[in-house]
Structure 1
Amino acid sequence: MSIKLDLYRVFWMVGKYKSFSKAAGKLFMTQPAVSQSIQQLESELGTRLFNRTSKGVTFTEEGSLLYEYVHSSLSLIDTGEEKILEFKNLTAGELKIGVGDTISRHFLLPFLEKFHSNYPNIKFKIENGTTAETLAMLKSGEVDIAVCNLPVNDPALEVMPCMEIQDIFVCGEKYKRLLRKPLQLEQLVRLPLIFLEPNSNSRKYVDQFLEKQGVDVSPEFELGYHDLLLDFAKINLGIACVTREFSKEYLNRGYVWEIPLEMEIPKRSIGVCYLQSVPLSSASTKFVELIERGTTYYY
């Protein structure tokens, strides 16, 4: 656009009030400055826009036609600015989160509930997937943040650990004899094992730990859902590798029992990831802050 937007605003204000002096007052400008702006606009367009009279101004035919377009355009700009303000004040907008089913159920739900209570006009879009899938969605712009299993080593991402978790092995009634004394890892892997599927971050973490100890694992079952591991262990199909923090209901009710190990698997974390190169939206920033405040006591 060869003509500055502020000239059109001056034109629009003069046309609205049919007066140079009233327009000047609304724009906090001097009347000569308003007159000069209109003259510059008329010169740029090569046509007269107003008829000047002692009582004020009236539109020429060209001015009346232009006013309708300028009025529509500036109204759209004002509406856009209002919408941006709504997003900043969290009275409108959408928060897109990538997260796995298990983390969503056992970790994220209370934060979603509190955020919705504080900002009821923000809509949620939850995309489920493994850690690898949610991070791919994050990088492609499909989600604003990803809540996933750590560790995640990617220089393009900001990673905020939120909660420590412990991988353990549990059994049902049939295998309660294993609770008498801590098991060696070599003894453990000779039992029928139930693991998550190999492409999950949780499974990879445990596999890497066992590999470092020189222990090969060949599970009897490989499943895609954490709670299904607990159900399989409960009905004595084998020894399940689960997350202690996500298994409290089963453990507290005596559906399964934790098997003591001579060497515990090191703790890992759940965390929030987002792109370093892309500023978080107001909604995303508030949600990350909410999680950070709510999980401080874990560290």
Structure 2
Amino acid sequence: MSKLDLYKVFCMVAKSKSFSKAAQDLYMTQPAVSQAIMQLERELDTRLFTRTSKGVFLTNEGRLLFDYANSAMNLIHVGEEKMLELKNLTTGELKIGVGDTISRYFLLPYLEEFHNRYPNIKFKIVNGTTLEICTLIKSGEVDIGICNFPLEDPALERRPCIDIHDIFVYGERFKSILSRRVSLDQIAKLPLIFLESKSNSRKYVEDYMLSKGIKISPDFELGSHDLLLEFAKINLGVASVTKEFSQEYLDKGILHEVRLTQEIPKRSIGVCFLKSVSLSPASTKFVEIIEKKLLD
């Protein structure tokens, strides 16, 4: 078997944890699958699987190899799919990595327009943080990501789309304290509601405050932007949110924006994709729709 075939068998066995199941999925005999794994182990001079009565499991060396081999197989699969998309976008799939909040407040109109133009293209939307999405892009599991910037990754092409502003908001309980302009240092002394620490949005605000010598210790760390707004609404603290995604609460007077003596610098949301791999026709067209719509 070719080296590529060996790795294909290896990845299938690792995922199914069974030689017989992998053989079924690959339309091979079980002895052929076992022979392929033994051949790969001989060539690498490393045991890749532990065989037990309950199945086969990756060794530490096997897990390390699987991370790279699975990414490579995914990229090959992506390449094959892109070849099928070449004819007028009549078939194919567009895989987008995006967070829940950006999906709701930014992405939906572009998805609608693209779907109206190319109804035969299927969508796969994968949710995650910006860092998780970057990993998915590099492994070939998504074509493009819609991410929070700033983002430093030399492997990725980054195209900013819209500016956004980080602000603090509060409910009625804090109105008397925050009716006048306050400093970030004063904000840090109040009960704080932030996104979880792995969020790029949280990191941006936290790093900016640290640059001013202000260290925060949030009372609440949440997994979604909508929860930030709801926790602030019931007066559990002052929430760090994105202004553009909180406008409904602000316009209705449900929450109020903290007037800071020094505003947090704006940042942006944008599209990311691998520099080293050409975008599929579907991905290219989708990025064009976003950029054109923003210019209109």
Fold in common (TM above 0.5): yes
Distance (whole Å) between structure 1 residues aligned to residue 281 and residue 87 of structure 2: 6
Partner of 2:224: 225
- One-letter code of the match for 1:237? L
Partner of 2:158: 159
**Post-superposition offset of 1:110:** 0.6
Q: The residue matched to 1:264 in structure 2 has which SS? A: coil
Do structure 1's residue 94 and structure 2's residue 55 form an aligned pair?
no
The answer on whether the counterparts of 2:149 and 2:270 sit within 8 Å (CA) in structure 1 is yes
Partner of 1:129: 128
**Post-superposition offset of 1:188:** 0.7
**Post-superposition offset of 1:269:** 0.4
Q: Which moved more, 1:181-190 or 1:222-231?
A: 181-190
Q: The residue matched to 2:176 in structure 1 has which SS? A: helix
Distance (whole Å) between structure 2 residues aligned to residue 258 and residue 176 of structure 1: 10
Gaps of 5+ in 1: 1-82
Distance (whole Å) between structure 2 residues aligned to residue 223 and residue 137 of structure 1: 23
Distance (whole Å) between structure 1 residues aligned to residue 176 and residue 167 of structure 2: 17
The answer on whether the counterparts of 2:165 and 2:265 sit within 8 Å (CA) in structure 1 is yes
Distance (whole Å) between structure 2 residues aligned to residue 209 and residue 151 of structure 1: 12
**Post-superposition offset of 1:178:** 3.5
Gaps of 5+ in 2: 1-81
Q: The residue matched to 1:183 in structure 2 has which SS? A: coil
Partner of 2:54: none
Distance (whole Å) between structure 1 residues aligned to residue 87 and residue 269 of structure 2: 28
**Post-superposition offset of 1:86:** 5.6
Larger radius of gyration: 1
Q: How does 1:125-274 map to 2 (within 5 A)?
A: 125-274=124-273
Where do 4+ consecutive residues of structure 1 move more than 2 Å? Answer: 83-88
Distance (whole Å) between structure 2 residues aligned to residue 115 and residue 211 of structure 1: 41
The answer on whether the counterparts of 2:84 and 2:91 sit within 8 Å (CA) in structure 1 is no
- One-letter code of the match for 1:188? I
Q: How does 1:33-112 map to 2 (within 5 A)?
A: 87-112=86-111
- One-letter code of the match for 2:284? T
- One-letter code of the match for 1:292? E
Deviations 1:62-83 (A, max 9, x none): xxxxxxxxxxxxxxxxxxxxx9
The answer on whether the counterparts of 1:88 and 1:282 sit within 8 Å (CA) in structure 2 is no
Partner of 2:44: none
Q: The residue matched to 1:188 in structure 2 has which SS? A: helix
- One-letter code of the match for 1:255? I
Deviations 1:238-264 (A, max 9, x none): 000000000011111111110100010
Distance (whole Å) between structure 1 residues aligned to residue 123 and residue 107 of structure 2: 12
- One-letter code of the match for 1:150? F
The answer on whether the counterparts of 1:226 and 1:242 sit within 8 Å (CA) in structure 2 is yes
**Post-superposition offset of 1:173:** 1.0
The answer on whether the counterparts of 2:84 and 2:92 sit within 8 Å (CA) in structure 1 is no
The answer on whether the counterparts of 2:232 and 2:255 sit within 8 Å (CA) in structure 1 is yes
Deviations 1:43-74 (A, max 9, x none): xxxxxxxxxxxxxxxxxxxxxxxxxxxxxxxx
**Post-superposition offset of 1:84:** 5.0
Deviations 1:152-188 (A, max 9, x none): 1111111000010000000011111244211011111
Over 3 Å counting, the alpha-carbon distance change for 1:130 and 1:86 in structure 2 is closer
Do structure 1's residue 289 and structure 2's residue 252 form an aligned pair?
no
**Post-superposition offset of 1:195:** 0.3
Partner of 1:114: 113
The answer on whether the counterparts of 1:145 and 1:284 sit within 8 Å (CA) in structure 2 is yes
The answer on whether the counterparts of 1:90 and 1:122 sit within 8 Å (CA) in structure 2 is yes
- One-letter code of the match for 1:90? L
Distance (whole Å) between structure 2 residues aligned to residue 229 and residue 176 of structure 1: 18
Deviations 1:120-166 (A, max 9, x none): 11100000000000000000000000101001111111100001000
Distance (whole Å) between structure 2 residues aligned to residue 86 and residue 188 of structure 1: 52
The share of aligned pairs that are identical, in percent, is 64
**Post-superposition offset of 1:296:** 3.2
